[in-house]
């Protein structure tokens, strides 16, 4: 029977079982003999099979719907899972974006992002400083930076070439090491590092080595030429005397130069100096002036000390060397019969000593470099006076090592005013 073959085994079993139950119930109720039991069982099975065949379609559709519902619920579960993953992903991306923004803003390197059409789309805080800009407005790279060189580097990067170059930026005059890299969207990224200080220090070091060689070579060549002439013999007495005097001058200069260079080396390595102590400034200045009295008298100069009673806290030898240098320079550079006024004043936390003179002073264009090593306004005059060009730079180190400040002003006497401050002994 084809219909019976199409009925699934579980339905047969169910029908048989239910038929059995129904039959059993019928038997129990009617209390009929065993033939009636069989017919009751058959009746039960027939009833179940009837229901199965008549509702088969509906059952199938319910089953299908249940299956769809089960599938749908697992899809919903999967979607829920995906949506949770997605929110986590969005949060992570947001965190990364914030980290990137913070990183960009806190970088000391300047960063500029340029679009394909050469418009600047992002610029960090450091870059605003590099180009002296108060705030960012969407403009072209050239409008923002005013640098054709940067423009060229950005163009090269946009074409896919990564370039490194060092350039001086317009307006700020910063020496910047630029790295220009292509971006995935056809734009470019420019990263700039300020190397102005490093380059300046390298230049100072190079100049220093060149200067030392030059300064040492001059007296050494004079000494060797003088001795050579004297050794040749037959040098008239007056010329021999002049040669010996010149040799003495140059050997003294050489000795002074070596002493100054050693002081500088010690100051820079931090091995110069003694512990600070309380110093009566007026007393120290009188001692220094006494050391220079002969020179002052020869040049018929006037030298006075005035102002507050000061007690400073400093290394005695350092303070003495600074005051000696200021006063000795004033004596050297002012004319015969000139005037020097040493003024003492007490400031909030320090004592100030200012050495004023009525000499030529220092022209504004030299002032920024006057405390540099070997910097002289008039090199010929300085050498003639036995100067090494190192005095003021040594003073600067000495004052700063003692927590003070050093500076230059134009004096109301018409010439120079070199001043230094030191902490007060009581503060
Ligand atoms: P130097 O050994 O040449 O005197 P310093 O470092 O002491 O070296 O001084 C540097 C330069 O500063 C000098 O060469 C001089 O040109 C200038 N200078 C220093 N003091 C005075 C001053 N009182 N008046 C004018 N020029 C000065």
What are the sequence ranges of the domains in the chain?
1-106, 107-194, 198-269, 277-423
Q: With the CA atoms of 318, 320, 323 and 328 taken in that order, what torsion angle do they form, in degrees rounded to the nearest 10?
A: -110
Q: Which residues contact 286 (CB under 8 A, 6 or more apart)?
A: 305
Counting ligand 1 atoms within 8 A of each CB, the residue from 357, 382, 411 with the most, and so the one to mutate, is 382
Q: Give dist(CA 153, CA 144) in Å, integer.
A: 15
- Contact assessment for residue 118 and residue 141, using Cβ atoms and an 8 Å cutoff: yes
Q: How many CB atoms lie within 10 A of CB 168?
A: 13
Query: Quick one: tokens of 397?
Result: 């180190």
Q: What pLDDT, on the 0 to 100 scale, is given for residue 381?
A: 81
**How far, in Å, is the centroid of ligand 1 from the Cα of 345?**
24
pTM here is: 0.62
What class does CATH assign to 277-423?
alpha beta
pLDDT in tens, 341-394: 999 999 999 999 999 999 999 999 999 999 999 999 988 888 788 888 999 999
**How far, in Å, is the centroid of ligand 1 from the Cα of 385?**
10
First-to-final CA distance of the chain: 120
**How far, in Å, is the centroid of ligand 1 from the Cα of 416?**
10
Helix spans in 131-280 (H)? 141-145, 148-158, 196-231, 237-269
Q: Give dist(CA 111, CA 127) in Å, integer.
A: 6
DSSP 345-366: EE-SSEEEEEEEESS----HHH
- Residue ranges in the chain modelled with pLDDT below 50: 1-5, 26, 28-33
User: What's the CATH number for 198-269?
Assistant: 1.10.287.130
State the burial class of residue 140 (Cβ atoms within 10 Å of its Cβ: 0-12, 13-18, 19+).
Answer: middle
* Residue length of the chain: 427
Which ligand 1 atom is at minimum distance from the Cα of 393? 6
Plot region of 374 (φ>0 → left; ψ -120 to 50 → alpha; else → beta):
left
CA nearest ligand 1 atom 4, residue: 387
Greatest Cα pair distance, the chain, in angstroms, is 171
Radius of gyration of the chain (CA): 49
pLDDT in tens, 169-222: 998 999 999 999 999 999 999 999 999 999 999 988 898 899 899 889 999 999
Q: What pLDDT, on the 0 to 100 scale, is given for residue 33?
A: 46
Block residue for tokens 């899972």: 81
Query: Quick one: tokens of 29?
Result: 């109720």
Does 182 contact ligand 1 (Cβ within 6 A)? Answer: no
Q: What pLDDT, on the 0 to 100 scale, is given for residue 2?
A: 41
Angle, nearest 10°, between helix axes 316-333 and 391-401?
150
User: What's the CATH number for 107-194?
Assistant: 3.30.450.20
């Amino acid at each position: 029977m084809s219909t019976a073959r199409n009925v699934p085994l579980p339905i047969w079993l169910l029908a048989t079982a239910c038929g059995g139950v129904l039959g059993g119930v019928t038997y129990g109720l009617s209390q009929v003999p065993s033939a009636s039991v069989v017919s009751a069982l058959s009746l039960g099975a027939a009833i179940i099979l009837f229901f199965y065949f008549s509702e088969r379609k509906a059952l199938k559709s319910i089953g299908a719907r249940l299956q769809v519902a089960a599938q749908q619920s697992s899809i919903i579960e999967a979607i829920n899972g995906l949506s949770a993953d997605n929110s986590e992903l969005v949060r992570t991306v947001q965190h990364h974006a914030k980290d990137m923004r913070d990183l960009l803003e806190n970088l000391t390197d300047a960063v500029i992002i340029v679009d394909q059409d050469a418009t600047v789309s992002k610029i960090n805080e450091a870059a605003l400083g590099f180009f002296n800009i108060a705030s960012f407005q969407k403009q072209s790279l050239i409008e923002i930076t005013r640098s054709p060189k940067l423009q060229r580097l950005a163009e090269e990067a946009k074409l896919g070439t990564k370039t490194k170059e060092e350039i001086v930026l317009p307006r700020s005059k910063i020496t910047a090491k630029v790295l220009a890299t292509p971006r995935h969207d056809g734009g470019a990224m420019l990263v700039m590092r300020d190397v102005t200080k490093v380059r300046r220090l390298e230049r100072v070091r190079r100049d220093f080595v060149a200067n030392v060689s030059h300064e040492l070579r001059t007296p050494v060549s004079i000494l060797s030429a003088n001795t050579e002439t004297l050794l040749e013999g037959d040098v008239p007495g007056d010329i021999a005397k002049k040669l010996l005097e010149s040799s003495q001058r140059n050997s003294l200069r050489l000795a002074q130069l070596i002493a100054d260079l050693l002081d500088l080396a010690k100051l820079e390595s931090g091995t110069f100096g003694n512990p600070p102590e309380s110093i009566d400034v007026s007393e120290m200045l009188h001692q220094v002036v006494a050391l220079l009295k002969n020179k002052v008298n020869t040049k018929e100069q006037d030298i006075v000390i005035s102002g507050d009673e000061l007690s400073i806290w400093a290394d005695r030898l350092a303070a003495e060397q600074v005051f000696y240098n200021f006063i000795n320079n004033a004596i050297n550079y002012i004319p015969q019969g000139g005037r020097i006024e040493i003024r003492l004043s007490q400031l909030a936390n320090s004592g100030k000593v200012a050495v004023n003179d009525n000499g030529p002073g220092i022209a504004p264009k030299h002032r920024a470099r006057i405390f540099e090593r070997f910097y002289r306004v008039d090199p010929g005059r300085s050498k003639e006076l036995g100067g090494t060009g190192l005095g003021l730079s040594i003073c600067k180190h000495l004052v700063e090592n003692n927590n003070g400040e050093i500076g230059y002003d134009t004096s109301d006497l018409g010439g120079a005013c070199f001043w230094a401050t030191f902490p007060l002994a009581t503060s």
